[in-house]
Amino acid sequence: MDLSKAPFNLDETGIKWVTDTLATMDADDKLGQLFCQLTYSDDDEYLADLAKNKRVGGVMLRNMPVGEASRAVTTLQTSTRIPMLIAANLEAGVTQTIPEGTHTGALMAIGATGDPKTAATAAKVIAAEAMSVGINWSFGPVIDLDLNYRNPIVATRAFGGDTDLVAQMGAEYVTAMEAAGMATSIKHWPGDGVDDRDQHLLNSVNTMTVEEWDATFRKVYQASIDAGARTVMAGHIMLPEYSKALCPGLADKDVLPGLVAKELLNDLLRGSLGFNGLVVTDATTMSGMAQVLPRKDAVPATIAAGCDMFLFTKNFDEDYGYMREGIANGTITPERLDEAITRILALKASLGLHLCDNLPAANAAELLRTPEHVAVARDIAARSVTLVKEEAGVLPITPERYKRVLFYGLEGDGWGYGISGEGILDGFMERLREAGHEVTKFEPAEGWEGRTIPTTDVTDNYDLIVYLANLSVKSNQTCVRIVWKEPMGADVPEFITTTPTVFISVENPYHLLDVPRVRTFINTYNSSPYVFDHLMAALCGEAEFQGTAPTDPFLGRWDTRL
C-alpha cells in the first residue's frame, strides 16, 4: 500500500502517525479495531466499554435526537486511545440518524432532477450537518442500479437504473462529500438491484454476465473510485459469472457473496478497478453470510478474504472470540491483519482524526435544518416530482372543479428506508381540505356479492378520487405490493372510467404494476414536507411537474401506459 496515493493521500505526518500507532498496538488493540459496532443511545457505560475495553475501531449511530448523538460521540471520542470512526446511514439526509436534520431527498428524487450537480449540492448539505454532530463516515451513496422493479431493497435508495446517470451522480456525490471532509462508502459491492430477493434474508445474486457487469456496474464503481471514495461496502451479494471467470472450475456450491469472495475483493475490486481504500462489510447481522458458512468461520473469513472492517455483530463476545480464533489459527495471517489495520488507521488519518479532538460542535443543533439547507431540499423536491402519465383535462385540481373528493389511503406499517412515518395520509387529507376541498376518507362497506354498495354511491357523490400510496422498501420484506381491502379489493381503482382519478405514490415508483389503468399517476420518491408543498402547488396548477423518471415506471409493460 502507498498511503500517499488516492484515496488516503496522506502526507509524511499522517503516514508516520499510522506507522507509529500500528507499532504500539497489541493483539487486543488490533482485534478491536476490526469491529464497527452500533449504538441506539448515549448510554455512557455501554459506549465507554466499547471504546476503552473492546477498543473498537468505529461505531455507527442509529436514529437519535441531536443532543443524544452529540453526547454519544463525545463519550466515544473521549474514552478511546485511537480516534474513532463515527458512521451513519446518510442516504437521503442526516434525518436517517438525526431527526432534527434536513431531509435532502431520496437519491432517486435527485436522479429525477436529471442534473448530476444536484447530487453534489445535496452531499454538501448532508456532510455539513453530519459533521456538526461528529459523524465522519457516510455509509453511502448507494450506487446500485435499480434494474428490477421487484427488488425489495433498492428502489428509491438508488439514483436510478441508467448506468451513465448513476455513474455521474455517484461521482458528483462522492466528490462533494469527500471534499467536505466526510469519508464515503459506496455500496453495495458487487452491485444490487438485479435480483428480486433481499440479502437480509438470504444471499442475493447479481446474475449479470462478465460483459454485462463490465458495461454497467464497473462503470458506476470506477466513476466513484476515481472521484475519491475512501471506502467500499461489500454486500451479501454473489456475482457468480465473474467469480467463475476469475476462478476457473469454481463450482456453484463454492460461489461466495461479495464480503467473503477473495476474487471479487482482490482481483476485481482492488486489482482490476484499482481501489486502494478501505473495504467494510455490510451488516453481518444479515442472514446472507450465515447461509454459506458457519459463523465461526464466516467472521474471520471476511477479513481473510480482503475486507478491512467487520460491521456489527450478532453477539459481540461470540464474534469477538471467533475473530480472535481466526487470527490465532492463521485464517487471518499477520500480514493480512496488519494490512487491514493499516487501512483503518490510514482512513482515520486521512480524516485528520489524529490532529483534533473530533468532538461535535457546541452549537450542533443550530447547524441543522438551516434556511440554506431547507432551500436545497425544496429545490430538489420541486425538480423531482414526476407526472408519469396524465389524463387530458384532469389537472389542475381546484375546489372549483372538484369540490367533493373521495380519498383512498394506502399504507404499510410506517417503517422503511424512506422518510415515511405516522400522519402521512391524514396530513395530505388536511392539505386538501385547507385548499378548499370537501374530503371523505374511503372506508370499505360490509357486504359481499350482491350486497355491496351501488356504484352510484361514488359516481353521484364525488367529483374526484385521489389515491395516496405510502409504501416504502425495507429490509426483511420480500416485495412492495399493494394489499387491497376486503371485501374483494374494495379500494381497487374501479371508477377510473367514470370519475377523474389521480394516483400519487410518495415512496415506491412502481405501483403502476397494481393500478395499470389509472390514467393520472405521480411519483414523488419520498414524503418530506417539502415534497408535499410542491406536490400541492403542482396539483392545483401553481407550479410545474419538472421531474423525469430515472427508472422505468411503466415496468416494460404495455398496459401500464394505457
- Residue 525 confidence (pLDDT) above 70: yes
For residues 154-164, average pLDDT: 96
Is the CB of residue 169 less than 8 Å from the CB of residue 117?
Answer: no
Q: What percent of the chain has pLDDT over 70?
A: 98
The 3-state DSSP class for residue 321 equals helix
Sequence-ordered list of residues with C-beta below 8 angstroms from that of 281, at least 6 positions apart, any chain? 233, 234, 259, 302, 307, 309, 310, 311
Q: For residue 431, what pLDDT is reported?
A: 97
For residues 433-437, average pLDDT: 98
Q: How far is CA 440 from CA 261, 352, 464, in A?
A: 55, 57, 11
Active site residues: 282
Q: How far apart are CA 289 and CA 477, in angstroms?
A: 18
For residues 305-318, average pLDDT: 97
pTM: 0.96
Which residue is associated with the grid cell 481501489?
275
Q: For residue 478, what pLDDT is reported?
A: 78
Q: For residue 544, what pLDDT is reported?
A: 97
Residue 416: pLDDT band with limits 50, 70, 90: low
- Residue 222 confidence (pLDDT) above 80: yes
What's the whole-number average pLDDT of the chain? 95
Q: For residue 422, what pLDDT is reported?
A: 66
Going by their DSSP bridges, the two strands 137-138 and 58-61 should be labelled as: unpaired
- Over its C-alpha atoms, the chain yields an Rg (Å, rounded) of 25
Question: pLDDT digit string (tens) for 467-512?
Answer: 999 998 877 777 888 989 988 889 999 999 999 999 999 999 999 9
Question: pLDDT digit string (tens) for 248-299?
Answer: 999 999 999 999 999 999 999 999 999 999 999 999 999 888 889 999 999 9
For residues 25-30, average pLDDT: 98
Of residues 506 and 412, more confidence is placed in 506
Residue 415: pLDDT band with limits 50, 70, 90: low
Residue 506 has what DSSP assignment? Answer: S
Q: For residue 290, what pLDDT is reported?
A: 80
- Residue 419 confidence (pLDDT) above 70: no
- Residue 394 confidence (pLDDT) above 80: yes
Q: For residue 480, what pLDDT is reported?
A: 85
Nearest to 287 by CA among 198, 205, 206: 198
For residues 397-405, average pLDDT: 98
- For the stretch 454-462, contacts whose Cβ atoms lie closer than 8 Å and that sit 24 or more positions apart, written own/partner, are 455/495, 455/498, 458/406, 458/495, 458/499, 459/495, 459/498, 459/499, 461/404, 461/406, 462/404, 462/405, 462/406, 462/499
- Residue 450 confidence (pLDDT) above 80: no
Residue 82 CA to its chain's centroid (Å): 29
Q: For residue 210, what pLDDT is reported?
A: 98
Q: For residue 421, what pLDDT is reported?
A: 61
For residues 167-172, average pLDDT: 98
Q: For residue 287, what pLDDT is reported?
A: 87
Question: pLDDT digit string (tens) for 341-377?
Answer: 999 999 999 999 999 999 999 999 999 999 999 999 9
Q: How far apart are CA 451 and CA 449, in angstroms?
A: 5
Q: How far apart are CA 14 and CA 173, in angstroms?
A: 26
Q: For residue 418, what pLDDT is reported?
A: 67
Is the CB of residue 100 less than 8 Å from the CB of residue 364?
Answer: no
